[in-house]
Each structure stands twice: as C-alpha cells, then as structure tokens.
C-alpha cells in the first residue's frame, strides 16, 4: 500500500512561493484504481512526482510517503532507484516524449529490464516479448524491431505501458495517459489498466481531468482543488452525492464528457 500523509510541496521561484500541495493525505492499495481529478494546476502531477521521488531539487517537501511500510525518506538513493521501476512505475500523457526515437521498441523495453534485473540479453528479450503480449501489442516479434515513429499513438502508449510494467511493479502511476489519444483508443487503454488491476493485482493511480475516464475504470476518486484534497470516496458515492460545491460543478459539466463514452 502507498500511504501519502500530510504531503506539502512548494516551489520557490525568485521571490514567489507556489504552494502546489497544501497537506494532502490519501492511500493506494494493490488491486484498485484510484483516480485523482481536478483542474489544471491543482497539484495532481506534483503528487505523483513526489511519490516517484522525481520532484525538482528546488522543490520543498514535507509530510510522509510510505510504500509497503517503508518511509521513502529513509531509503538510500539506490533503494529509491530500485523502487522506481521495480515497485512503482509511471506512465505519462505523451508517449513520444518518453520513447527514444533512435531505439527500437524492443531495445527500450530490454534496456529497462537490464537496468533492474540480472538476466542475460536473451532472457531480457523473452521478458520484453511477454510484456508486449501482456499489454496486447499485436505481432510482438515484428513490433519488437520497429522504431516509435512506425507505431500509431495507441500502440506507442502500449509500448510505454510495457516499459512501465515489464518489471512487474505493484503500483502504476498514470498521469493523463489517455489525453493524447482518440476516444476508441482511450477506451482500449483504460480496459488494459483494468486488466492489469484484475490479473496482476496492480494498484493504479490515474490522474485525469475527465470524469468519463473516472466513471469508466476507477474504484475510488480523489477530488483536488488548488493543492487541497476536497473529498474522496467510492466513485458511486462521489458521483451520486458530491459534498463540495467544486465537485458539484465538476459533475454538472459531466454530461458533455460522458457523451464521449
Ligand atoms: N517544476 C515546477 N516548478 C515550479 N512550479 C511547479 C512545478 N511543477 C508544478 N508547479 C506548480 O505547481 C502547481 C501544481 O501543478 P501540477 O502540475 O501538479 O498540476 P496538475 O493538477 O497536474 O495540472 P495539469 O492538469 O495541468 O497537469 C501549479 O501551480 C504548477 O504551476
């Protein structure tokens, strides 16, 4: 389980302080999908970056992040590196920003395996192919040798997810993973997340500003606003009985969003 306790993150830029998170607490269990919703700038990505321990060095952080009973702050840099990839992985909005255009998809998955596992190149290739199957990339043998530009947007995002899950992490943080994709492809990616949850018992933190996405796959939802967690609960509870005026406003615009599903 990932526990985030009273997390505060601020950025000092010249003489201005931006309070990105103002004391946020939540948890993510294995085998569940938790969505974080909230408008742009509410602190969703910063929360993920804090869990991955990839905040810029000038960020000031307070509070605790505990992963399977281990305080992130008590780990050495090497232990943190092992945690990223082996236990927690992240998927971003733009697959093209993550994939190296000069390396084949297969080489990039193999590289991730070799960074974390002591296996031969052949074994790594087998593991890479099975990860490609796991994320339902058709014809993995052929795709293995292709470069990112030879893949559609949906397949590129699947390749990024293959890289993220190849070392069997327990938790996956997905920051707007379907925003760059069209509706049909988005749905397929959301179904894939559901399968990863069901078959591998993965805990998935899904950042989105799209309530249609939340309704589609999330078990629980956290509503963020200007660095604070306004409310959280089961999706049905929040959708049927929102407490906070901001959540009510968010839900009233849902008619437009849910039309796309
Ligand atoms: N590296 C950074 N340096 C300075 N300020 C930052 C940095 N990263 C985020 N912020 C600020 O922190 C606040 C929260 O940003 P964050 O990216 O977490 O929002 P978000 O909810 O993910 O928004 P979006 O939906 O647009 O991605 C914003 O005011 C943002 O400008």
Name the more confident of 19 and 86: 19
pLDDT at 89: 94
**CA gap 96, 73 in Å, rounded:** 32
DSSP three-state, residue 149: helix
Establish whether residue 8 lines the binding site of ligand 1, counting it when its CB lies within 6 angstroms of any ligand atom: no
* pLDDT tier, 82 (very low <50, low <70, confident <90, very high otherwise): confident
pLDDT at 255: 53
Q: Whose CA is nearest to atom 16 of ligand 1?
A: 43
pLDDT at 131: 94
Residues 182 and 83 in one domain: yes
* Domain end call among 140, 168, 196: 168
Residues 69 and 180 in one domain: yes
Q: Whose CA is nearest to atom 29 of ligand 1?
A: 41
**CA gap 42, 102 in Å, rounded:** 35
Q: What is the pLDDT of residues 223-255, one digit of tens each?
A: 999 999 999 999 999 999 999 999 998 888 765
> For residue 163, what are the domain limits?
91-168
* Domain end call among 108, 133, 168: 168
CB neighbour list of residue 193: distance below 8 Å, 6 or more residues apart: 33, 172, 174, 177, 204, 206, 217
Establish whether residue 44 lines the binding site of ligand 1, counting it when its CB lies within 6 angstroms of any ligand atom: yes
Residues 159 and 189 in one domain: no
pLDDT at 259: 42
227 CA to centre of ligand 1 in angstroms:
9
Is the per-residue pLDDT at 261 higher than 80?
A: no
Is the per-residue pLDDT at 257 higher than 80?
A: no
- The percentage of residues in the chain with a pLDDT greater than 90, rounded to a whole number, is 76
HEC assignment per residue over 9-68: EEEEECCEEEEEEEEEEEEECCCCEEEEECCCCCCHHHHHHHHHCCCCCCEEEEEEEEEC
CA 114 distance to own-chain centroid: 22
Is the per-residue pLDDT at 6 higher than 60?
A: yes
Residues 72 and 125 in one domain: no
Residues 77 and 140 in one domain: no
Residues 250 and 127 in one domain: no
211 CA to centre of ligand 1 in angstroms:
20
Establish whether residue 209 lines the binding site of ligand 1, counting it when its CB lies within 6 angstroms of any ligand atom: yes
Residues 69 and 123 in one domain: no
Residues 122 and 102 in one domain: yes
Residues 41 and 80 in one domain: yes
Q: What is the CATH number of the domain that holds 260?
A: 3.40.50.300
Q: Whose CA is nearest to atom 26 of ligand 1?
A: 40
Mean pLDDT (whole number) for 150-165: 94
Mean pLDDT (whole number) for 102-114: 96
* pLDDT tier, 180 (very low <50, low <70, confident <90, very high otherwise): confident
Mean pLDDT (whole number) for 211-234: 93
Look up residue 210 and give its DSSP letter: -
* Domain end call among 129, 150, 168: 168
Mean pLDDT of the chain: 92
Establish whether residue 38 lines the binding site of ligand 1, counting it when its CB lies within 6 angstroms of any ligand atom: yes
Residues 235 and 117 in one domain: no
Q: Whose CA is nearest to atom 19 of ligand 1?
A: 41
Is the per-residue pLDDT at 137 higher than 60?
A: yes
Angle between helices 105-116 and 77-86 (to 10 degrees): 130
Mean pLDDT (whole number) for 136-163: 95
**CA gap 189, 39 in Å, rounded:** 22
In the chain, how many domains are there? Answer: 2
Q: Which atom of ligand 1 is nearest to the CA of 38?
A: 21
Per the listing, tokens 């799209």 go with: 210
Residues 133 and 73 in one domain: no
Residues 78 and 192 in one domain: yes
Mean pLDDT (whole number) for 191-206: 94
């Amino acid at each position: 389980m990932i526990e985030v306790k009273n997390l505060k993150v601020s950025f000092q830029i010249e003489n201005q302080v931006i309070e990105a998170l103002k004391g946020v607490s939540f948890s993510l269990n294995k085998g569940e999908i938790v969505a974080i919703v909230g408008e742009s700038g509410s602190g969703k990505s910063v929360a993920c970056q804090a869990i991955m321990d990839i905040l810029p060095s000038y960020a000031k952080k307070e509070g605790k992040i505990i992963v399977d009973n281990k305080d992130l702050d008590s780990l050495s840099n090497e232990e943190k590196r092992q945690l990223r990839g082996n236990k927690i992985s992240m998927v971003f909005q733009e697959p093209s920003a993550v994939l190296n255009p000069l390396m084949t998809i297969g080489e990039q998955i193999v590289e991730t395996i070799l960074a974390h596992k002591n296996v031969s190149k052949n074994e790594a290739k087998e593991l890479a192919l099975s990860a490609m199957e796991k994320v339902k990339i058709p014809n993995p043998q052929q795709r293995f040798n292709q470069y990112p530009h030879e893949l559609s947007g949906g397949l590129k995002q699947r390749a990024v997810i293959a890289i993220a899950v190849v070392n069997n992490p327990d938790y996956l943080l997905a920051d707007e993973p379907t925003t760059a994709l069209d509706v049909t492809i988005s749905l397929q990616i959301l179904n894939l997340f559901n399968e990863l949850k069901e078959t591998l018992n993965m805990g998935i933190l899904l950042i989105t500003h799209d309530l249609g996405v939340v309704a589609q796959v999330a078990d629980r939802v956290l509503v963020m606003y200007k660095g604070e967690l306004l409310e959280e609960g089961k999706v049905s509870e929040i959708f049927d009985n929102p407490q906070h005026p901001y959540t009510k406003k968010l839900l009233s615009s849902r008619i437009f969003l849910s039309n796309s599903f």
